[in-house]
Amino acid sequence: MIIYNVTTNVDNGIHNEWLSWMKTEHIPKMLATGHFKEAKLTRVIIEEEMGGVTYSVQYRAHSREGLDSYYQNHADTLRLEVLKKFADKILAFRTELEVIEEFTAKVK
């Protein structure tokens, strides 16, 4: 399983607008591409030296091939939407994570 992780630092001045847009527009569009099984939106719990608030969205890809297809067919369009809307008010970087194994706690 591959996780496509997008970490974004958001300027305080647009924080609420960005968060609402992510929940109602961007994440649903990402899932609608058909290449991801789910998404998890999290806030990074640190105080940024540069200011702002940092979030991570983890999209679980159906497969490596699906993620590659997302890159080829959808990534440029969706990234451009983000840049047009928020320009220099956000700073994002992307990583790919390979799930090696998952563990769950045993209930006592």
Q: Which domains does the chain carry?
A: 2-98 (3.30.70.100)
CB-based contact 53:43 (threshold 8 Å): yes
**What pLDDT, on a 0 to 100 scale, did the predictor assign at position 108?**
78
Mean pLDDT over residues 7-34, rounded?
A: 96
Which of these, 67, 85, 73, lies nearest to 4 by C-alpha position?
67
Residue carrying structure tokens 């994440």: 27
Say whether pTM exceeds 0.85.
yes
Phi and psi at 10, nearest 5°, equal -115, 130
Return d(Cα 76, Cα 83) in angstroms, integer: 10
Rounded Cα–Cα distance for residues 9 and 38 (Å)? 22
22-71 per-position pLDDT tens digit: 999 999 999 999 999 999 999 999 877 778 999 999 999 999 999 999 99
Q: Rounded mean pLDDT of the chain?
A: 94
The residue type at 69:
S
Q: Look at 80 and 47; give whichever has higher pLDDT.
A: 80
